[in-house]
Amino acid sequence: MSSDRVRPTFSAPQPPGAAGGAGGAAPAATAGSWPRLGRLDGVCALVTGAREGLGLATARALGERGARVLLGGRSAARLEPVVASLRAEGVDASSFAADVSVASELDAAFAAAAEAGDVPRILVNNVGVRDRRGVDTLDTAAFSALLGTDLVAAYDVTRRFLAAHGERPGGAIVTISSIAAVRGRAGDVGYAAAKAGLEGMTRSLASELGPRGYRVNAVAPGSIATESNAELMVDPRFSEVVRTRTALERWGRPEEIAAAVAFLASGEASYITGHTLVVDGGLSTLF
Ligand SMILES: NC(=O)c1ccc[n+]([C@@H]2O[C@H](COP(=O)([O-])OP(=O)(O)OC[C@H]3O[C@@H](n4cnc5c(N)ncnc54)[C@H](OP(=O)(O)O)[C@@H]3O)[C@@H](O)[C@H]2O)c1
């Protein structure tokens, strides 16, 4: 199925003064000239790291809004049952198997998608791994490897996403950061550095790509109840920290992050770019 034919939410750059173009005010919308707010029908979305956790919740949220979703992960076999279960829910889903830190795998996955007629117009840079070691034990090679997967790979995927558009630019990029980008924590130095880098990258790409019809934003989750936090969630001390240090006194749910990503990816956020939306139940606002 080709998902590049209908692009209701995005359009190539307009001349100055036109809706979405550079300069001047957008003209008043005429009846039927705007997509239905929040819908993503006919738009193809690539979500990296979508086999479980926030990526899977995001793929589901985008799919429920009508997008065709490509689910990223390192293994086609592991993605298969996840794709099947989303399809059973009525989501138009396929797998996008590639390790984001391996250029040749990304090339092959983008080529396979193009072959199938899929040109993503929404990119969710979601892959983010952790190495909870401090400066004395996280050696430079390990620090660099972590940045390679969490920061450099997002840049690499973004470049390929843009290149796939050729002479027809336009789309939305949402990158998953963390409150670790702006708050410090002992034993998390590599992850925090990568997330801070992603937020800087988001702002600069927004400036650079806005004139070409792209919006670039980030979402910074707090403590979310995902598989990757399974051990912390059964640790009563950590759950007490979450309860007492969030205004909402609880862990966040994956779909609460997914809703923020879907909003930023959709036409509802048509004038928002270069922004990091913190979704943390108030964790970073208390002291
Ligand atoms: N969970 C939270 O509380 C929280 C809080 C703040 C920020 N975040 C951020 O949110 C994002 C998602 O977190 P999560 O906890 O939902 O993720 P996760 O469960 O740790 O990872 C999601 C998927 O990413 C895939 N993946 C890992 N390395 C990959 C690679 N090199 N190439 C391609 N795919 C890869 C894995 O699938 P395969 O094994 O099949 O490859 C994994 O199932 C991350 O960026 C994380 O830093 C999470």
Q: Is the pTM of this model over 0.75?
A: yes
Beta bridge partners of 96: 72
Instruction: Write out pLDDT tens, residues 121-179.
Output: 999 999 999 999 999 999 999 999 999 999 999 999 999 999 999 999 999 999 999 99
Given the residues 155, 191, 214, 271, the one annotated as active site: 191
Please give the residue range of the domain that contains residue 121: 44-280
Least confident span in 25-29, 105-109, 273-277 = 25-29
Distance 287 CA to ligand 1 centre (A): 28
CB 275 within 8 A of CB 210: no
pLDDT at 53 over 70: yes
Residue 7 lies in a domain: no
Q: Of 159, 180, 173, whose CA–CA distance to 274 is shortest?
A: 173
Distance 87 CA to ligand 1 centre (A): 21
Q: How far apart are CA 105 and CA 98, in angstroms?
A: 5
pLDDT at 38 over 90: no
CATH number of the domain residue 131 falls in: 3.40.50.720
Mean pLDDT (the chain) is 90
pLDDT at 30 over 70: no
Residue 38 lies in a domain: no
User: What is the model's pLDDT at position 287?
Assistant: 79
Residue 57 lies in a domain: yes
Beta bridge partners of 247: none
Residue 25 lies in a domain: no
CB 266 within 8 A of CB 9: yes
How sure is the predictor about 31, in pLDDT bands with cuts at 50, 70 and 90?
Answer: very low
User: Which of left, alpha, beta for 42 (phi over 0: left; psi -120 to 50: alpha)?
Assistant: left
Cα-based distances in Å from 48 to 27, 135, 216, 250 = 36, 28, 16, 27
Q: Mean pLDDT, to the nearest integer, of 102-114?
A: 98
Q: Which atom of ligand 1 is nearest to the CA of 74?
A: 41
Number of domains into which the chain is organized:
1
CB within 8 A of 109, min separation 6: which ones? 72, 96, 97, 98
Q: How far apart are CA 285 and CA 179, in angstroms?
A: 11
CB 257 within 8 A of CB 126: no
Residue 67 lies in a domain: yes
Would you say the CB of residue 229 lies under 6 angstroms from ligand 1?
Answer: yes
Instruction: Write out pLDDT tens, residues 77-89.
Output: 999 999 999 999 9
Would you say the CB of residue 53 lies under 6 angstroms from ligand 1?
Answer: yes
Nearest CA to ligand 1 atom 40: 73
Q: Mean pLDDT, to the nearest integer, of 226-239?
A: 94
Q: How far apart are CA 100 and CA 133, in angstroms?
A: 23
Distance 145 CA to ligand 1 centre (A): 15
User: What is the model's pLDDT at position 187?
Assistant: 95
Q: Mean pLDDT, to the nearest integer, of 253-268?
A: 98
pLDDT at 120 over 80: yes
Asked if 271 is an active-site residue, the reply is no
Q: Of 4, 33, 67, whose CA–CA distance to 262 is shortest?
A: 67
Q: What are phi and psi of 186, to 5 degrees?
A: -60, 140
pLDDT at 10 over 70: no
Residue 252 lies in a domain: yes
Residue 13 lies in a domain: no
Would you say the CB of residue 175 lies under 6 angstroms from ligand 1?
Answer: no
Q: Mean pLDDT, to the nearest integer, of 239-251?
A: 96
Q: Of 59, 32, 31, 56, whose CA–CA distance to 44 is shortest?
A: 59
Which percentage of the chain shows pLDDT scores above 70? 87
Ligand 1, residues 123, 226, 278: which to mutate, most atoms within 8 A of Cβ? Answer: 226
Residue 124 lies in a domain: yes
Would you say the CB of residue 285 lies under 6 angstroms from ligand 1?
Answer: no
How sure is the predictor about 37, in pLDDT bands with cuts at 50, 70 and 90?
Answer: confident
Cα-based distances in Å from 238 to 15, 127, 243 = 53, 24, 9
CB 274 within 8 A of CB 206: yes
Q: How far apart are CA 13 and CA 152, in angstroms?
A: 27
List of E strands, the chain = 44-47, 68-73, 92-97, 122-125, 171-176, 214-221, 276-279
